[in-house]
Chains A and B, each alone.
Chain A
């Protein structure tokens, strides 16, 4: 038994070494099949997440306001909300505070916010100039800029009255002009810190807007979690963004699945035809072995073992290639790095080995059943 197994391995080894070029083709076939398999499986797993990130360019999909009428959120509540949001899904969280101010006697709406966060939650802002990087700078909407003919670098004085009816006044420098095509075009944006400094009122926020990579169920879960833990906070979903995102992402993901299934089936067929060629080429050898007295079973076993080895080796190299392919797609299409899932490598090797064995089975069966004499004569 032992010597038999040793013999079989020896035969396999020599057959693999002696027929290098064929072997190479089969290996390449199996590797490509495995690359495609692992690459696509990884992508299918990754694409909904990546697309969800892409859709965050539509802006915030969840907003938090105070439940009481005409009440503002406090900074403490904002911090509690931040602690409740899952960090892995949070793209950005912007506090917004609205005040009516005057400049040159004309009324404007001033928004106090965090410029670092607004870049994340509203990536669609088109800016001429730059974001403020220190206190005393502000952004103006394009309509305000046109009406006042203010440009980046010029100064603007804002005046107003706080809730205690005390008058305040503060000088700012315009650092950039925002255009969005929406209501933002008519607003003035200053940092929340500046607004608190000017009005001498700190800690109040009108709206907290969050951009989360989640749709449907998970988003609903987050909403419930926040509402259950904080009873003074009202959570609203931006239906326009969430509903559309759900349908569009579902369709796109489905499309990628279908296409991947198509490519996968084709790559499996490709591996099969390669294995068939390899076996077909060696009908003479099979005939010789049978003529020398080998049993059909052991001959077939040898070939299937060879297929298994090819599948495993090809699967291994292919799996590495597949991870590379997925990384490449992730980088070139979505411009983001991705974390390879190495535990998928053995699974890919196994699938490839099974495909190779099944693919060899048909021609091996045919060759084994043929008359040795006919095969040896070369017909």
Chain B
């Protein structure tokens, strides 16, 4: 009987139910879209903020204390000293093998050599432009400074990794030496190092592929391939610094304590910290896998990232809550209107002996069914909507989180029940005689 009545009601009052379903669909689609965006906004904004460049700087343990400060010469260094002052290029692939490997967006090693370009003293910085690495896991990774220096204004083309003699020249240096795209320059080391295995007394002839403007000190330097820099400096296989760009979670109290001293954490706290992509835990994990390296967060980038991420997330959460509130109010009004329209029917049911509870259950079941149908439709539309937002705003798809489905379902039920409450109250206080009489 119950189901028969519901079926009948759906057949007879198609319009009213359709309206309820549509309102729910609208509310749910918007809420689902916003929830989807909300869950992914952190990653998306994080990727946008990567345009500020690397947020971690890896230096050899020895160098971070003395190297840069005293500008010690390299002459006559023991193997141990080399190990202390440089990082081995062959070990760098390990950075992509830490626990949070997926969060490492890009990294690039640097080796600076003091050189004379056409007799003019300057620095030549060797790096990876777009190096492809084969990981032991069988994965292939392309990384390098092309993505790390996205704010550079480049005239000409980017240098291909295999093009060993192709270089990028800073705008100021190019003006000083009167260099154009395609011109060639002769580069010699500033100090010719005496010793065996040094064949670089011959000047290197390099071709200018691009001229860049960075707005910083780099504008006065040359960027070349790492292999070339190592050859000029006679430091095969060595780099002096690695810039790493990682997606991170904003710091909280735990991360701040851990950054001071990871040893001060309890076992449980340590696990939480290690398994969260805090900048300090990523730095720690890289130090674990490359023991001779010290990794320092570049606070300028890291801290700003955290602050901006937190603010955007908070803003979107507030707006999502607002949407949910509006949706439930709209649904509530519709349900009330539905019950009012059918007051005569309710009066008749009550006059025939139906209890308040059974009438309420009947109405709730009807509304919930319509709402669920609307909710499913709304979820699908919401999914499409969130992708639209992702594509228009960030130019990439929003990750579909399965968590949104139960959340949307809960929301439909909650909102419909809450919205029906005033209507149910009106329903129970309805007097059969009055409505049947037509008042």
Contact = CB atoms under 8 A, between A and B. Distances in A.
Contacts of B33: 262
Contacts of B26: 266, 269
A59 B337 contact: no
B337 A143 contact: no
30 contacts: A32-B326, A54-B311, A57-B307, A57-B308, A58-B300, A58-B304, A59-B300, A147-B65, A182-B300, A236-B215, A239-B152, A240-B53, A240-B151, A251-B48, A251-B394, A259-B319, A260-B319, A266-B26, A266-B323, A269-B23, A269-B330, A270-B333, A277-B337, A277-B340, A280-B337, A280-B340, A333-B318, A378-B343, A378-B344, A379-B344
A181 B323 contact: no
Contacts of B200: none
B57 A181 contact: yes
Interface stretch (B66-74, B107-115, B185-193): B66-74
Contact of A181 (B34, B300, B326, B330): B300
Nearest to A333: B314
A332 B327 CA distance: 24
B223 to A, nearest CB: 15
Interface stretch (B87-95, B291-299, B351-359): B291-299
Interface in A257-274: 258-260, 262-263, 266-267, 269-270, 273-274
Contact of B337 (A126, A276, A329, A333): A276
B303 A274 contact: no
A29 B69 contact: no
B210 to A, nearest CB: 16
A25 B333 contact: yes
Contact of B151 (A186, A239, A276, A281): A239
Interface string B283-323: 00000000000001111111110011001101110110011
A55 interface: yes
A7 interface: no
A36 B324 CA distance: 12
A23 interface: no
Contact of B65 (A47, A125, A146): A146
Contact of B333 (A29, A244, A262): A29
The 10 closest A-B pairs by CB, nearest first: A239-B215, A378-B438, A181-B298, A270-B330, A273-B333, A244-B51, A277-B337, A57-B304, A181-B296, A243-B151
A333 B329 contact: no
Contacts of B297: 181
A55 B314 CA distance: 16
Given A237-B215, A247-B51, A255-B389, A332 B298 contact: no
Contacts of A240: 52-53, 151, 214-216
B336 interface: yes
A144 B49 CA distance: 30
B329 A270 contact: yes
Chain B: interface residue count, which band? 35 or more
B392 to A, nearest CB: 7
B66 A180 contact: no
A179 interface: yes
B27 interface: yes
B389 A247 contact: no
B153 interface: yes
A197 interface: no
A102 to B, nearest CB: 12
Interface string A211-254: 00000000000000000000000001111111110011001101
Contacts of A263: 30, 319, 322-323, 326
B333 A267 contact: no
Contacts of A25: 333, 336, 422
Contact of A259 (B34, B214, B301, B343): B34
A329 B329 CA distance: 22
Interface string A33-70: 00010000000000100010011011100000000000
B322 A36 contact: yes
A124 interface: yes
A147 to B, nearest CB: 5
B163 interface: no
A379 B348 CA distance: 13
Contact of A256 (B56, B315, B325, B330): B315
A306 to B, nearest CB: 17
Interface string A88-113: 00000000000000000011100000
B159 interface: no
Given A179-B296, A238-B216, A256-B315, 5 more contacts: A143-B68, A244-B51, A255-B389, A273-B23, A274-B333
A334 interface: yes
A377 interface: yes
Interface in B194-215: 213-215
Interface in A266-301: 266-267, 269-270, 273-274, 276-277, 280-281, 284
Interface string B255-292: 00000000000000000000000000000000000000
Contacts of A334: 311
A377 B438 contact: yes
B69 A332 contact: no
Given A236-B215, A239-B215, A251-B393, A106 B70 contact: yes
A254 B37 CA distance: 13
Interface string A131-151: 000000000000110110000
B117 interface: no
A344 interface: no
Given A239-B215, A259-B34, A143 B48 contact: no
B341 interface: yes
Contacts of A242: 215
Interface string B134-171: 00000000000000001111000000000000000000
Contacts of A180: 298-300
Contact of A147 (B69, B150, B435): B69
A147 B70 CA distance: 10
Contacts of B408: none
B322 A54 contact: no
Contacts of B307: 54, 57
Contacts of B213: 239
B64 interface: yes
A376 interface: yes
A270 B327 CA distance: 7
Given A254-B393, A269-B23, A106 B69 contact: yes
